Structure 1
């Protein structure tokens, strides 16, 4: 039952992962009210008829979610509809979403459900929002000597452009992906996020960048949930789009480590970690 809403969850998470506000932190510490889901490795998968098994791109790392049969599809649709309607309602008069424009555009572009797409802004409205985002990028590039562009911020814009089927390597004469690769992030989470943005733009990661992702995957027990999940997403993208099939086996260790971090209520510490972990599975 969770599968149709994973794209929306993904978009929302990728937009928020590096920008926790005070309200966000309050939401993260609030008790979960979502249907309980159990994440297990393939060797522990339930044979119940209510279990939905989602297999990752790596044949050696599959997980299953068991959702309560009492939870109806209507409840999911109602919740997502309310969230989507609220998101659209927050748009400003300039067709942007203040500092969150690339995050919201990514989320809206990733909505695949036909019923939900009827709630999205019209084509012309989305074009105006995209133009507003382009203006924001131009301003950032113009002022980069005064206010340096951080890798997470650049990753957000690169992912948003990719979601709009625009090439971030050719943004009005600027190569955003080249800039992102030139300024490698120090923190592993930011590095994995940037790697996902680079791969999503169909650009090739350098061998040393892939080695760093593999090092994170091999030392999975020493990393947080968000870092593990983002690393898995980046490696899956590399396997799928760049055909590095030899990376398949490296996905098992972080996937198993991630499964072991699930809490008794079905969540993964906070709202964003839970959303990202569901996407990974």
Structure 2
């Protein structure tokens, strides 16, 4: 082939529709959580062999200029626009792996900084816009737009942030991905696209059917033209290795990794490149680092995956010769791919199950319990003064739920002067019952509630306090959906004024 099509392959990845109703709520959550400062990134400690960390350390002088160029691009235009998921994914990987090693970081970017926060919020906005644009479209109609990122790429970036792609504001991004196996022309998806989709589903903890796995492995047994396509071989390796690491039931897939790895390595050019193409070279690097990343756990295998014969030093030298004076490699897509390739941690090949926030750390909630949620309290205490004119008093109920599965449920009936804000009512509840004690940050637009009853927002894992205003008593067995904007509070605690018969619910849950 005279021209590599990896960019086009990525741009035409599968996209599916989403149920409506999430946009209003999601933007409210984005504004409520503007202060969220921490990301828990999935880690992989098996990075010391096979050209992994060695290659990365040799390429330090490539990484920092490229990362700086990406950040400068976001500053110039305010964001990366539709390229946000890919650029953010690249920065997350190079910043996460540098902090996970003893190597001094050369990446002048912190995901916990204000700039990092803004870029992560921009990602949420872009994903919401993507879902809005495609609402009501058929899968085939979605695929006709090749200028925006795919559902799979959004899912991978969510996974890199240790945010569950199966629950993005109540929506499962993974379930529809593998349902579509034909493109908008009615023909089967290209094997590259199928492999990328499979990798995204695997990384996010989704389910692949047996026929999907078989189809993935059959990709390396196509015609000679397909078989020798480095882009396809690399993507199949990344998807297969993801399955290999995700579950013991896929350990037999090690037998399917060696052949494509050897075929990729055999196509390294004398100058160190792969097909004299930067994007293809970056993708080949990611695949060829897989044996080194798996080497530690392979020690117990009777037949370890052999390390392919290639020259990472020559590859780095060739990439160095292709880097522009401004630090980029020509455009945002290729520059991001190079950063993913040079990251010590796997660029694409990581798992949501590796996220540290899934280990039920201290102060965090386990969301895996299958116990039935408790019912609402039958006897609800009261607080507030009935002194003065009863006609100028407001009576309403304030409820608190703790946990994704509503493991704790508290309720209190409040009586407050008319035109009192909900924030003032919360202070009355806190004085009457320590379970309603709270802490808040003061922002220019009012108070932001971050802790109730000792449960504080957990930015690793994205546990937040969500406020609902409902016309009936909240039922733990039938919780309000996070995609029902008519129940979600439309303002902050200072801007809401309870009325007689209202029910206010603060729910501490994973968003």
Would the TM-score normalized by the shorter structure come out above 0.5? Answer: yes
Equivalence for 1:134: 124
Q: Pick the aligned partner of 1:106 from 89, 96, 116.
A: 89
1:275 corresponds to which of 270, 275, 282: 282
Aligned to 1:148: 142
1:175 counterpart (154, 172, 177): 172
Q: 1:241 to 1:19 in 2, by over 3 A?
A: same
SS at 1:110's partner residue?
Answer: helix
The CA deviation at 1:204 is: 2.2
Instruction: Choose 229-238 or 121-130, whichever is displaced more.
Output: 121-130
Q: Cα distance, 1:92 vs. partner?
A: 4.2
CA distance 1:79–1:93, change in 2 (3 Å): closer
Moved over 4 A (4+): 14-17, 92-95, 149-152
Structure 2 contact 63–107 (Cα < 8 Å) conserved: no
Normalising by the residue count of structure 1, what TM-score does the alignment of the two structures yield?
0.70
Q: Which has the larger strand fraction?
A: 2
Checking the alignment, whether the CA contact within 8 Å between 2:64 and 2:107 is kept in structure 1 is no
Report the equivalent of 1:241: 246
Matching of residue 197 in structure 1 with residue 197 in structure 2? no
The answer to whether the 8 Å contact 1:204/1:242 transfers is no
Using CA pairs under 8 Å that are at least 6 residues apart, name the structure with larger relative contact order, 1 or 2: 1
Q: Is the deviation greater in 211-220 or in 226-235?
A: 211-220
For residue 79 of structure 2, give the secondary structure of its aligned residue in structure 1: coil
Cα distance in 2, alignment partners of residues 139 and 235 from structure 1: 31
Whether the 8 Å contact between 2:82 and 2:126 is mirrored in structure 1 is no
Q: Which SS does the other structure have where 1:234 is aligned?
A: helix
Matched, 1:256 2:262: yes
> In the alignment, is the contact (CA less than 8 A) between 1:95 and 1:129 conserved in 2?
no
Deviation at 1:251, TM superposition (A): 1.2
When the two chains are superposed, the root-mean-square deviation of aligned CA atoms in Å is 3.0
CA contact (8 A) 1:226 1:273 kept: yes
Give the Å deviation of 1:79.
2.5
Residue-pair matches, total:
222
TM-score (norm 2): 0.40
Distance 1:184 1:95 in 2: 36
1:18 aligns with 2:10: yes
Whether the 8 Å contact between 1:169 and 1:176 is mirrored in structure 2 is yes
Larger helix share, 1 or 2: 1
Summarize deviations over 1:176-227 as a string: whole Å, max 9, x none: 1012122236011111111111111022211111001111134484331100
Does structure 1 conserve the Cα–Cα contact (< 8 Å) formed by 2:192 and 2:232? yes
